[in-house]
Amino acid sequence: MNIEKKLSEKIIEAFQSLYGGTIDNVTFEKTSSDFKGDLTFVVFNYLKLSKKSPEVTANEIGTYLIQNLTEVSDFNAVKGFLNITINDFFWLNYFNSINGKAIPFDSAPPNPSTIMVEYSSPNTNKPLHLGHVRNNLLGYSVAEILKATGNHVIKTNIVNDRGIHICKSMLAWQKWGNGETPESTGMKGDHLVGKYYVVFDKQYKSQITELKSEGLSEEQAIANSPLMKEAQQMLLDWENNNADVRKLWTMMNGWVYKGFESTYKMMGVDFDKIYYESNTYLLGKNIIEEGLKKDILKRRADNSVYIDLTADGLDEKTLLRGDGTSVYITQDLGTAVQRADEDHFNKLIYTVGNEQDYHFKVLFLILKKLGYEWADGLFHLSYGMVELPEGKMKSREGTVVDADELMQEMINTAAATTKELGKATDLTNDELEKLYRTIGLGALKYFMLKIDPKKKMLFNPAESIDFNGNTAPFIQFNYVRIQALLRKAKEGSSDFADIDLVKQNVELLPKEKELIIKLYNFNTTLNQAAKEYSPALIANYVYDLAKEYSQYYHEIPILKEELKDLMLFRLQLSKTIGFTIKKSMNLLGIDVPERM
RNA sequence: GAUCCCAUAGCUCAGCUGGAUAGAGCAACGGUUUUCUAAACCGUAGGCCUUUGGUUCGAAUCCAAAUGGGAUCACCA
C-alpha cells in the first residue's frame, strides 16, 4: 500500500514506454503548498532521456500516470515540476485500514537485529546532572525507536564505580563526614556522596595554596599534596582488596545506587543489563596479548604496549602501561569483546558525549584491525554538550544543574501553571500529582529531545522551559482535547459507543487530507529516526501533527457537525491522531495525560 | 600545530539524500471565547541562510578555502 513505490514503478514504466529509456527508482517530495497536488516528481534529471522540454516531459508523464494508475486523479506541470494529486479514495482507504487505531509499523525487518544501546554510564561519586539528563533521554528514546522498528534491543548501562574520583569522596567522608549517612541527614545518597567530592576538592585546593605559600611551585605542590597521595593510596588499597576500604566503598556506592535508582525512576528510564567497571576494568589484557601475537600491536622498550594508527591519520595509542596495568581503552576493548561473545549483537550503540569522538574512533579502529567482524556494527551516538550561559558545567566546583532539582522544578512549574489556568479542578490529589509529573517532565524531555542530538545546546536556568508553542504541553494538550471529544461523544449518544466500527466514505476537506497524509508519513519518519538515531525527527513530526490538528480543531466543527456520517469520520480521524500522538510521545519517553 | 563538530529571523530551533517565493516557536504588535478544553487559533512585523570561490539547468543543502565558536589530540576516566 505504498503509494510512492507504486508511482515510482509507473514512472519507470512511463519512461520505458514513452522514451524507450531505463531509469532508476525515482523519489518524490511533498508538493509545495502554493501548488495543487500531493506529491511532486521533478523531471529535470531525466530530460536527456525524453529529449523534450521540462514542461512537455512532465505533462507526458502526468498523462501516462493518470491513464495507467487509478490512484492518480489529477496532475499539473509547472516548469519541470510534476505535481500529482492522489484521489481521496486512496487516502480514505488507507485511513480506514488503520481504523482508529495506532498506526502499525509496516516494514519490520525480516531478520530483527539485536542492538545494544549503552547509555547513562554515570560515575558514582556525584549525583546526575543536566548532561546525564540529555544522555539518558537520548539513549532511552533511541532504544524505544529501534524497538518500534522491529529490533531486539538491549539497554545497558556501565557504571563507573571505581577509580580515583570515588576514593576522593570516600576519603573526604572519612575525614570530615562525622559518620553522616543518608538516613541521619535525610539527604539522597548520591547527593551526600557528591557533597564529599566537593569537600575533597575544596580541601585539596586549600592545601595546594598552602604549599605554594611555603614556596613550592604549582607542580611541586600538586605532586606533594598529602591529600591526593592519600586518595591514591586508597585506590591502591582498593585494588589490593583491603577489607576496610572495600567496606567503605560498598557502603557509599550503595547509597549512590539508591539515589540513582530514584532519579532513573523519576526520569522514566531503565536498563536490561547493568555492568560495573569494578568487574570489567581488568578485561582486555588477553586481547592485547592476541594483538601482540598477530603483530598488530607493538611493545616499546619500557614494556608498554601501543598501536600505531598514524597511517590512518590518528596517533600512536598506548594500550597497556609499562607496569602492565590497563588504561581506559583497554577495558573498553575488553567489554566490547565480552558483549559480542555474550549477546551476539549486530549493533552496539554507545551514547556518549562528543568530547569522546576521538576515543571511539580509535576504539573502533583497533577492534577492526584486530579482526573482529562485528566491529562494523559499532556506533558512537555522539551528542553535543549541554552548556550553561556561563559555559561548561564543573561538578567539582558545584556549578552544575542537578537532575533531581531540575525535574522537581519542572514539576512545580507544571503545578503552578495548571493552577493559574484553573485547569483540572476535578481531579483528586493523586491524579494531580501524576498530571504535574507528566506535564513537567514531558516539557523537559521534549525540550532536550527536539534538538538534533549532535548539536550542542544551551540551557539557561534563569529562563524556565516553555509550556507554550513547540513544547510537550502543547502536544499533550491536543491529545487531551481529543480525549475530551471522544468522551463527550460516548456520553452524548450510544451511537458513538464504538467509533472504531465506523467506516465512512466522505468528501475530504483539504485539511483532512493533509492530516491523513501526515498519518501516512508516520512510518517513513519512524524509519528515518531509527536509521539516523534521531529522536528529534519524531519530536518534529509529532509537533507538526499536533499543530495541524489544532488548526483543524479550531476551523472545523466535530461534535457539532450535523451530518452524522461526517461527525463520525471526524471523530475517527481525531481518535487516530490521538493514538499517533501518544505513540510518538512514548517513543520519546513522554507520557500523555487524559485530562489537563 | 593537527584533527573533528558547529554557524539559518532579536532568541531557541526545523529545513541538509541539491529543486518552485527559506519555515516554526519564543519575544513584539493587533485580533478571536454566551458554541467540541484559549497550555489554543488568526493576523502584522522580522532573512546578504557567516564570507568567498567552485560544481550544476538549479545551492541554505554538495566541494574547497577563509572567519568565528566548541571539542579532542595522556602510560586520566
For nucleotide B38, the protein residue with its alpha carbon nearest to C1' is: A421
Q: Quick check: is A456 in a domain?
A: no
Q: In terms of domains, do A422 and A526 share one?
A: yes
Q: What digits encode the pLDDT tens for the residues A382-395?
A: 999 888 877 666 66
Is the pLDDT at A397 greater than 70? The verdict is no
Cα–Cα distance measured from residue A460 to residue A414, given in angstroms and rounded to the nearest whole number = 18
CA(A463)–C1'(B12) in Å?
11
Strand B neighbours among A 184-243, CB < 7 A: none
Q: What is the mean pLDDT of residues A512-539?
A: 94
A171 and A49 in a common domain:
no
Is A163 near strand B, with its CB below 7 A from some atom of it? yes
CATH number at residue A70: 3.30.1360.70
Number of domains into which chain A is organized: 4
A41: the nucleotide nearest its CA (via C1') is B19
The model's pLDDT over A477-524, given as tens digits with 9 standing for 90+, comes to 999 999 999 999 888 665 555 566 556 678 899 999 999 999 999 999
Q: pLDDT by residue (tens digit) across A415-453?
A: 999 999 999 988 999 999 999 999 999 999 999 999 999
Please tell me which residue lies nearest to nucleotide B76, judged from CA to C1'.
A328
Q: Which nucleotide is nearest to A319 (CA to C1')?
A: B75
Q: Using the structure, give the distance in angstroms from the CA atom of A591 to the C1' atom of B12, rounded to a whole number.
A: 24
What digits encode the pLDDT tens for the residues A41-68? 999 989 888 888 999 999 999 999 999 9
Same domain, residue pair A24 and A169: no
Residues A257-278 have a mean pLDDT of 96
- Nucleotide nearest A32, CA–C1', reads B20
Residue A100: band (very low, low, confident or very high) from pLDDT cuts 50, 70, 90: low
**Nucleotides on chain B within 7 angstroms of protein Cβ:** 3-7, 12-16, 19-21, 24-27, 35-42, 57-58, 70-77
Nucleotide nearest to A594 (CA to C1'): B37
A312 and A425 housed in the same domain: no
Q: Across chain A, what does the average pLDDT equal? A: 91
Asked whether the beta carbons of A539 and A450 are under 8 A apart, the reply is: yes
Say whether both A478 and A575 belong to one domain. Answer: yes
Question: A540 with A443, same domain?
Answer: yes
How far is residue A140 from each of residues A136, A268, A407, A410, measured CA to CA in Å? 6, 9, 17, 20
Domain that holds residue A50: 3-86
Nucleic strand B within 7 A of Cβ A357: yes
Q: Which long-range contacts (CB under 8 A, 24 or more apart) does A132-136 make?
A: A132/A403, A133/A267, A133/A386, A133/A403, A133/A406, A133/A444, A133/A448, A134/A383, A134/A386, A134/A448, A134/A457, A135/A351, A135/A352, A135/A353, A135/A383, A136/A264, A136/A267, A136/A269
Q: What is the C-alpha separation between A444 and A467, in angstroms, rounded? A: 10
CA A540 – CA A518 distance, rounded (Å): 12
Residue A336 lies in a domain: no
Q: A292 and A182: one domain? A: no
Is strand B in 7 Å reach of the CB of A521? no
pLDDT for A347-376, tens place per residue? 999 999 999 999 999 999 999 999 999 999
- The two beta strands, A316-320 and A305-308, are antiparallel
- Identify the bridge partners of residue A352 per DSSP, sorted by sequence position: A382
